[in-house]
Amino acid sequence: MILKLSTRWLAEFGRRPLNLILLIVVPLVFVTLSAGVLADFADILGGLGEVGNIEAATAGWAAAVLAGVSGFFHVSTSRNADRRLAEAGVGAIAVVASRLISTLALAAVSTLGALIALGVRTNSGLSWRVVGATILFSLIYVGIGVAVGALIESEMNGSLLVVFIWIFDVFFGPAMGGVGRLSQFFPLYYPTSVITSIDSGTAGLLGDLGLSGLIVVLALGVAVLALAMTTRSGSFATKEPPPFRRRIYAAQKAAFRQLQRMPIMWILVVGLPAAFISESIAVTPNSPTPVELAEAGARTLQILPMDEVHGAIMVPITVGFLASLAGLFVIVDSAEVDQRLSLTPFRPLEILWVRFVVIMSASLLATAISLLVTSLSFRPASWPIFVGANLLVALTYATIGVIAGPVFGRLGGIYVLLILPFVDIGLAQNPMFDAAPPTWGRFLPGHGAVRVMMDGAFTQSFDEGLPLFLALVWLVCLGVISTIVFRRVALARVS
């Protein structure tokens, strides 16, 4: 019975082939593009690991986040159905075991993809230490994803929580120089020490490998317990959204009430910029780095303090990521309600306006917090240009989120939005890794806005007219596409 149910759950996942494709493609892209860059970044921040070991850790990081997000959605979207199935006579034990087995199978796919990408990139055989540690990464986040999926009703709250645990796990762990600090309380601290051969200094008698195994057991144990609690009879059920009675005012009021029921999202919108940006600036050395800037009509290389460059670029990285997730979840979570609204006097553009106001409220708050935190240690040359460019990033990635949700779905959209802002702003446009963006990076949506942001951050005059034009073209095109996509969602037949 357990294996039969597990096969059924995997077959349901496979009904959307794009999710399975992304489960393989995302770790391939992540490892291939980020391994060398993250190794260099770790060296900049004072990481103690060797370059090859840091690159090996990217396979574990990719496998972990995909396993966590997959585990969350695999459990969250079926919570009520699983409870009814258990009450119908199948039993909670069989349902819980089958869910965990199918989740582990999905995690195995992403882990295999990450290891294949690492093997191709390093052009050498993978050691058993790297393979074993990567599996540990994946198993830990399977436990985290399943536990969060069982305990948190809101898909936005839960998936954001999983993703942001992973972000802090990666960027403040031992690979990035976080040995002996609060980072030792993050789940991947000891597995990262194993794969990078960095002595954590806090493992005690069990050693880093032993503690890693203990964390796996603890994570999976908590996941099983949480899943069992919410699968048995009497566990909490999902509430229907409130009815809509008036036009724009009523819809807007209801939309903001919906966001009030997403406390984790608001905590992260405020807390992530505050913690992530401030910590990133604090750990960045004040060493010189070359940056290509335009001034007085000419492009030149200027030598700037690395901590100031990092302070500037962290704002669009954070804003782009949060805005895209806000766009995805607001649109997807309200799709059924919007379809019903379209049967009333509401027009699709009116509904889209309501949703976009909510999305931009969250995006603007994240932008404001990010700017405030950055201003404590960094002063741009031109505040109006710097602020305007970051607002442009927020608008651009909010529309990308609006598109990603209906096109890829919740899970597929998360996969896409994990990789796109990271590759675009975090890698291609990031002057900490290259003085000027690579050729392929000029075709990405964040290129123009980031060039304008760097101009406002470090030059007194405005010299990025063409990048500003390109950024506005991107925004207009994405706006048109998002309107078309949303119209199809709003006019879809209500089941």
Residues of the chain with pLDDT under 50: 235-247, 493-495
pLDDT, residue 116, reads 87
pTM for the full predicted model: 0.70
The gap between the terminal CA atoms of the chain, to the nearest Å, is: 31
d(CA 237, CA 228): 14
pLDDT, residue 180, reads 53
Q: How far is CA 386 from the centre of its chain?
A: 24
423's tokens: 């590759």
User: Domain coordinates of the chain in residue numbers?
Assistant: 1-239, 241-495
Orientation angle between helical segments 128-151 and 51-76, nearest 10 degrees: 30
pLDDT, residue 494, reads 44
295 sits in which H/E element: strand 288-295
pLDDT, residue 47, reads 60
The pLDDT tens digits of the residues spanning 14-65 come to 666 667 777 778 877 888 877 777 776 766 666 666 777 888 888 888 889 8
pLDDT, residue 397, reads 94
d(CA 264, CA 450): 28
Q: How far is CA 231 from the centre of its chain?
A: 28
